[in-house]
Amino acid sequence: MPSNDFVRTVSRSFRVLVIGGSYGGLAAALALIDLSHARVPRFTYDPEAKPPTYRIPIQITVVDKRDGYFHLIGSPKALACEKFASKAWTRFQDIPGLKSPDLSFIQGSVSSVDFKAKVAHIVDSETKSSRTESYDYLIAGSGLRRTFPTVPQSLRREEFLKEAREHMSDVKNARDGVVVVGGGAVGVEMAAELKILNPQQKVTLIHSRKRLLSSEPLPDDFADRVGSILRETGVEVVLGQRVIETRAVNTENETRVWNLTLSDGRQITTGHVLNAVSQTIPTSTYLSQEALNKEGYIKIHPSLQFSGDIPNAEHHWAVGDLTAWEGIKRCGGAMHMGHYAAMNIHEHMLAECTGQKPNYQNLSPFPSVMGLALGKKAVSYTPDEGTREGEDLMKSLFGTDMGHTICWNYMRLGEAC
């Protein structure tokens, strides 16, 4: 990379606190490191983009409940395949791209934020004690709370590998098959993955509506293709039925099975039930109500700055699933927001140091786009291309590892920072 001899260093430094070390939070931290070193951010497509002319000393602290980066979109496979589980979770300290003197990590949970004092209270996972971190800029990227088996509940890699092994053994040893309840994006991926990895096991997917993916703003032919691929894979699909009762039954040899009663009175006996009904709750409980909408999502401007009536709003930014932003929530969107938040915070820092007016990049509305990994095939919908499916599409959208390498390389996690 050619050196920029005209780069000067500003006379003050900034502390940035990032809540959540996943797609949104890490993308923001890494793009901000690039910019602060007077480099074009790694996510910029424009070959004509000019690097900044100032270096800005920054110290970024990322707080996360987990001890590492978990490739969340691979969760249905990570919980079903031991080899993939090990790949899907990497401790922050083992990621080459995060080793930088400008970047440090705290494993802990943010419990409250004082906007006025610009201080966050954190419960440290190691010591269980409360500590405070003051900041000049805060980036909230802590996503949504999701239950098991949509995502693992472990906070440390070793515990996660144990949790995944137990889950796999429950599925493998289930007598009379496995039932997945809920035909949303998570349920359909989970059912396909379980069938591919356990072909001898009967896998049934039960969905309360007549159409799979009924809460997604996507056309019927997309949902129909998903249903056909599931059936081709060997998953039994039951539509338009609610599970109204789940009763444990002990059999003679002491193995437990479950008796499910469906809304039409049908009875299904199964060895294991997985609830994939999406109960996603924003993790924003550490923020005061003024910053949030009624559902608990952070109100933002298109620049990603908090738009609620709070003190120091221009020092508070949000990225990813936790934002009140229209459209299907996706990991690509979270990383894109991280990139934009970093550019805009950098603009704000420059303005503080040089007095120049910040020139913010504004986010465009997200289109209704979805890609699903269903065992060997992927199905996608975009407004331009409509519904597509196939094994080649699987390779281009997810590679061979549920998109893990694609995200890892996009954020350059394998390269020295």
Q: Nearer to ligand FAD by C-beta: 334 or 417?
A: 334
Q: Given candidates 241, 270, 283, 380, which one binds ligand FAD under the rule CB under 6 A?
A: 283
Residue 186 to residue 393: CA distance in whole angstroms = 19
Q: Least distance from C-beta 141 to ligand FAD, angstroms?
A: 5
Task: Among 186, 197, 230, 407, indicate the residue that binds ligand FAD (CB under 6 A).
Answer: 186
* Closest alpha carbon to 394 in 373, 409, 410: 373
Q: Which of 34, 371, 380, 381 binds ligand FAD (CB under 6 A)?
A: 371
> How many Cα atoms within 13 Å fall on the side-chain side of residue 306?
26
Q: Which two tokens stand for residue 297?
A: 């999502």
Decide: is 331 part of the binding site for ligand FAD (CB under 6 A).
yes
The distance of closest approach from Cβ of residue 182 to ligand FAD in the complex, given in angstroms and rounded to an integer, is 11
- Rounded to whole angstroms, the Cα distance separating 347 from 349 reads 5
> Any contact of residue 329 with ligand FAD (CB under 6 A)?
yes
Which 3-state string (H, E, C) describes 75-143? HHHHCCCHHHHHHHEEEHHHCHHHCCCCEEEEEEEEEEEECCCCEEEEEECCCCCEEEEECCEEEECCC
What residues contact 214, with CB distance under 8 A and at least 6 apart? 183, 184, 207, 223
3-state DSSP call for residue 290?
helix
Find the binder of ligand FAD among 15, 39, 42, 65 (CB under 6 A): 65
Q: Does 321 bind ligand FAD (CB under 6 A)?
A: yes
Q: Minimum Å distance from CB 342 to ligand FAD?
A: 14
Q: Which of residues 135-154 bind ligand FAD (CB under 6 A)?
A: 141-144, 146, 150-151
Q: What is the DSSP string of 180-199?
A: EE--SHHHHHHHHHHHHH-T
d(CA 68, CA 94): 9
Map residues 3-32 to x or -, x wherever contact with ligand FAD holds by CB under 6 A.
----------------xxxxxxx-------
Closest by CA to 102, choosing from 55, 155, 167, is 55
Sequence-distant (6+) residues with CB within 8 A of 355 are none
Q: Binding ligand FAD by CB under 6 A: which of 32, 33, 41, 66?
A: 66
Minimum CB distance to ligand FAD smaller for 109 or for 270: 109
The footprint of ligand FAD on residues 209-238 (CB under 6 A) is: none
Task: Kindly state the number of chain residues that form the binding site for ligand FAD, as judged by CB under 6 A.
Answer: 36
The strand pair at 14-19 and 137-140 is best described as: parallel
Of all residues in the shown chain, the one whose CB is closest to ligand FAD is 320
Nearer to ligand FAD, 61 or 75 (CB): 75
Contact status: 76 vs ligand FAD (CB under 6 A): yes
332 near ligand FAD, judged by CB under 6 A: yes
Q: Is 258 in the site for ligand FAD (CB under 6 A)?
A: no
Q: In terms of Cα–Cα distance, which of 259, 238, 262, 237 is closest to 248? A: 259
Residue 286 in the binding site for ligand FAD (CB under 6 A): yes
330 binds ligand FAD (CB under 6 A): yes
Min dist CB 159 to ligand FAD, Å, is 13
* DSSP category for residue 366: P
Packing angle, helices 331-354 and 23-36, rounded to 10? 30
Measured between alpha carbons, how far is 182 from 216 in angstroms, rounded to an integer?
Answer: 13
Which is nearer to ligand FAD, 120 or 257 (by Cβ)?
120
Q: Does 284 bind ligand FAD (CB under 6 A)?
A: no
The contact set with ligand FAD (CB under 6 A) reads: 19-25, 63-66, 72-73, 75-76, 109-110, 141-144, 146, 150-151, 186, 283, 286, 320-322, 329-332, 334, 371
